[in-house]
Amino acid sequence: MSGSMAQKHKEVLVLGAGIVGVSTALALQLRGHAVTLVDRKMPGLETSYGNAGIIQREAVQPYAFPRDIGTLLRVATGRSNDAHYHLDALWQVWPRLFAYWRSSAPSSYAEIVPAYSRLIEKCIDEHAFWIEQAGAGELIHKEGWRQIYRSREAFDAAASEATAAAREHGLGCSVLGSDELASAEPGLQRALAGAIHWTDPWSVRDPGDLVARYAKLFIRRGGRFALGDAMTLRQQGAGWSVDAEGGSVQAEEAVVALGPWADALLRPLGYRLPLFIKRGYHRHYEGHAGLRLPMLDVERGVMLAPMSRGLRLTTGAEFARQDAASTPVQLGRAEQSTRELVPLGKPVEASPWLGSRPCTVDMKPVLGAAPRHKGLWFNFGHAHQGFTLGPVTGRLLAELISGEPAFIDPAPYLASRFG
């Protein structure tokens, strides 16, 4: 990770204090810019808090829309825990879901993967730099994570696909049979078909705390954090202004790093980007249930992640309006299926956490200059991998704003790709 001094230092507003916004603020600060980070809450308390806490170096292939009839029927009839939906939300979002489905066709998907993987392959290096600078090493475990399988058929198919992907992309991957998995994870209460152990990723015992540590580093280095309302963003003279506690904050440039709230800010400015959200739930349970590494129970659609607060169960996607009432159907199923594997402790929180993942129809984030507004920049749409990719796209955007050579070709991620 390196940053050369920009020819002209600028004043920049970064809207959103999740992992993407904080990483962008740090990367801009590294290049000599005067940065104000703005959010309605303290850093790391929204989407960046609610994830599996894995820096997913292996995730070179983004989550595609299912295309086989069997999977679609299981989701439609409520027999799959991978997805849950509200009918009223599907009616509103179906054009974007259809575009997502089209982008997941083999020919289109084959063009998306290389661009996506170029971001993913940098994630460990970029996080490692900031982890060291922030003194956050005690939060990190570098032993990877596992996908576990209950049925032999599913395990055999997944093992073949995983080893092929590992060879193609140079990833660390071990296939564990039933006995090997039982030895590696003696806390499991029942025999399973096997597991795929991805060895490159790092796991974080408190992802919200890691974001907060990054933000504290930003402030120690002279950055400013302001509690404010990003939705008040407006052009002011040759720059931008936003309302915050103590009065408005102005700057020459503004970065929209608002994750699932980006669309609400940009629509009044005339942007109609093909964005949508996937909601998700998690809850902590006392203890770690004897688990050594995070694991995804693939056939039950739940991630089990040992965290500082206990064992975190994280669900798949829920398609619902962002402001709709909580319907943690998937989490209830996840609790039941997890009790088949490990002794699940009492819930830590009184109610489950609910958040939204910001998605694009072609599975790639949106970053770079806003096509129609001078001094406005985008960095959002990371879907399931915002926690993984925050430092990567933060650096890339900072290089674009600074006029530096970009360490990754930004063309596949620019908003102009949507016309």
Closest to 384 (Cα-Cα) out of 126, 155, 83, 167: 83
What are the E-state strand segments in 43-99? 54-55, 83-85
* Residue 209: predicted pLDDT: 98
* Residue 71: predicted pLDDT: 87
pLDDT digits (tens, 9 = 90+) for 148-188: 999 999 999 999 999 999 999 999 999 999 999 999 999 99
pLDDT digits (tens, 9 = 90+) for 194-214: 999 999 999 999 999 999 999
**Does 244 score more than 60 pLDDT?**
yes
Q: For domain 76-104+141-204+275-360, which CATH number applies: 3.40.50.2300, 3.40.50.300, 1.10.12.10, 3.30.9.10?
A: 3.30.9.10
What are the E-state strand segments in 178-334? 194-198, 202-204, 224-236, 239-244, 247-251, 253-256, 275-285, 295-297, 302-307, 310-315, 317-319
What is the CATH code for 1-64+105-140+205-274+363-419? Answer: 3.50.50.60
**Does 293 score more than 90 pLDDT?**
yes
Helices 106-120 and 386-402, packing angle to 10 deg = 80
Structure token pair of residue 298:
């693939």
Length reported for the chain = 419
Q: Is 199 left (phi over 0), alpha (psi -120 to 50) or beta?
A: alpha
**Does 345 score more than 80 pLDDT?**
yes
pLDDT digits (tens, 9 = 90+) for 94-119: 999 999 999 999 999 999 999 999 99
DSSP state of 43: T
Q: Given the DSSP bridges, would you call strands 145-149 and 224-236 parallel, antiparallel or unpaired? A: unpaired
- Establish whether domains 1-64+105-140+205-274+363-419 and 76-104+141-204+275-360 are of one fold: no
Does pTM surpass 0.85?
A: yes
* Residue 4: predicted pLDDT: 46
Integer Cα distance of 35 and 19 in angstroms? 16
Question: What confidence category does residue 7 fall into, taking pLDDT thresholds of 50, 70 and 90?
Answer: low
CA distances from residue 192 to 14, 90, 176, 183, 300 in whole angstroms, order as listed: 46, 35, 10, 12, 13
C-alpha torsion sign, points 24, 51, 139, 226: positive
Domain ranges in the chain are 1-64+105-140+205-274+363-419, 76-104+141-204+275-360
